[in-house]
Structure 1
Amino acid sequence: MARIKPQALLQQSKKKKGPARISVTTIILNSLIVVVTVFFLYATYRHWSQRSRTQIENRQSVFKGDTDSSFMDSKKSDLPGYAILDTAKGSITVELFKDSSPEVVDQFLDLCHRGHFNGMLFRHVIKHYVIQAGDSDKLEAAEDWTLKGKHYSQLDTSLKHEAFMLGTSKKKRDNGAFELFITTAPIPDLNEKLIVFGKVVKGEDIVQEIEEVDTDEHYRPKSSIAIRSVTLKQSV
């Protein structure tokens, strides 16, 4: 048997231990797996991150909405709910409609704090219509109501037509004037003339006593009757 030379054995050993070749297909597949895995992890991260942020914003929005609502309710509840008009004939207590006429009530309260109504005269008294206090000596709206000549017995007795409602003229007040009207009977088309922002809850007899004073042909009281002062209260 022929002997193999040592150099030949060494060359055969190197050929057997040589590195294996990796195919292109395997490289592509592995690369795709890595890319898909990274994309999946990134998509998962974005999903949960966005969901967490949305939940936080919703909670903040709800909290803010509750806070704003609570603040507005608190602010509204802090406003006086009643005004007591001290007149030469006696006191008239009015409940203010803070919910239905907030802007007018705010203006009325501001004028009360500034003493705007102190000493204000009842300028016109029209039986079975209104008593009107204000700075102007012109009759304007109240006289227009008397020209309609409607039969009050046929009126709808809804809230807007009731007696003893407190309102102010809808006319634009460039000079800061603020007239007060207290109805003494159901008034037709009241909402067309006045912004109703309160109702007499005590002192209806005082309103009727003012209504009975003697007036001239222009519905002006012959003897002066004034609002001495206005007291604001949370409750009565």
Structure 2
Amino acid sequence: MAKIKPQALLLQSKKKKGPTRISLSTIVSCNVIVILIVLSLYATFRHWYHRSNDQLGTGLETFEHSEIFGESTRSDLPSYAIFSTAKGLITIELNKDSSRDVVDKFVDLCRKGYFKGMLFDHVIKNFVIQGAHSQRSGVAEDWIPKGKAHSRLGISPKHEAFVLGTRKPNKDSKEFELFITTAPIPDLNEKLMVFGRVIKGEDVVQEIEEVDTDEHYRPKSPVGIIDIALKQEA
């Protein structure tokens, strides 16, 4: 085999090509692709950012609307009301399912202290004990249930003993009075809206029922509600 002379090797090395140069068009194309990717990522970010803000804004508007107009869900309302009276404690289970609007108004008035010092101004044995503010006319203001009011408890076809109700509002009487029945009274179905049931303190109700009254069924000695505490658990 013939040997290649050193001069020939030197000439061949000079003929070898250097590194391939990247063309200008390739550089421009790559830059364009990078810019498009960045713009696409930015557009995606803006889309999700505005979407999350819109959802947050809608949630806040709904919350503010419910706060302004007093709207509340069934879970927001307390389940029990504990009446503190001069004779002892009476625990009422509130009926939030079939009497939600009435319970909502009752809870609102409790939180405003409306029932503090309310007297049982009529006590009729084997009938009802009635609480009202005879000297505070108009304090409760006008109130009308927003939905179709149920005048009885879902589990009871009649007004049984030891249920709590209020008079249906009308043009003559707009106060929020309280009635606790002491016997089954079916004929009250058209007059009262029942929204609770006594679960503890029946003996206290009966003790109030036994107070001495005048010929107009007004207690001779004042007896009434000292305060009402709202609870989620009895």
Q: Same fold (TM over 0.5)?
A: yes
**What is the alpha-carbon distance in structure 2 between the residues aligned to residue 76 and residue 158 of structure 1?**
21
Matched ranges for 1:153-172 at <5 A? 158-172=156-170
**What is the alpha-carbon distance in structure 1 between the residues aligned to residue 194 and residue 157 of structure 2?**
10
**What is the alpha-carbon distance in structure 1 between the residues aligned to residue 177 and residue 106 of structure 2?**
10
Q: Counterpart in 2 of 1:101?
A: 99
Quote how far apart the aligned CAs of 1:136 are: 3.0
Q: What amino acid does structure 2 have at the position aligned with 1:170?
A: K
2:89 to 81, 84, 91: 91
Q: Counterpart in 1 of 2:79?
A: 81
Matched ranges for 1:199-214 at <5 A? 199-214=197-212
Specify whether residues 88 and 118 from structure 1 end up closer, same or farther in structure 2 by C-alpha distance, changes over 3 A only: same
Question: Which of 1 and 2 has greater Rg?
Answer: 1
Is 2:184 the counterpart of 1:186? yes
Quote how far apart the aligned CAs of 1:207 are: 0.2
More deviation, 90-99/172-181? 172-181
**What is the alpha-carbon distance in structure 2 between the residues aligned to residue 171 and residue 212 of structure 1?**
29
Structure 1 or 2: larger helix share? 1
Quote how far apart the aligned CAs of 1:173 are: 6.5
Is 2:231 the counterpart of 1:233? yes
**What is the alpha-carbon distance in structure 2 between the residues aligned to residue 93 and residue 108 of structure 1?**
15
Q: Secondary structure of 2:218's partner?
A: coil
* % identical aligned pairs: 68
Where does the alignment leave 5 or more consecutive residues of structure 2 unmatched?
1-65, 67-71, 136-154
Q: What amino acid does structure 2 have at the position aligned with 1:122?
A: F
Quote how far apart the aligned CAs of 1:158 are: 4.5
What value does the CA root-mean-square deviation take over the aligned residues?
Answer: 2.7
Specify whether residues 116 and 176 from structure 1 end up closer, same or farther in structure 2 by C-alpha distance, changes over 3 A only: farther
1:112 to 110, 113, 125: 110
Alignment coverage as a number of residue pairs? 149
Quote how far apart the aligned CAs of 1:174 are: 7.2
Moved over 6 A (4+): none
Specify whether residues 232 and 218 from structure 1 end up closer, same or farther in structure 2 by C-alpha distance, changes over 3 A only: same
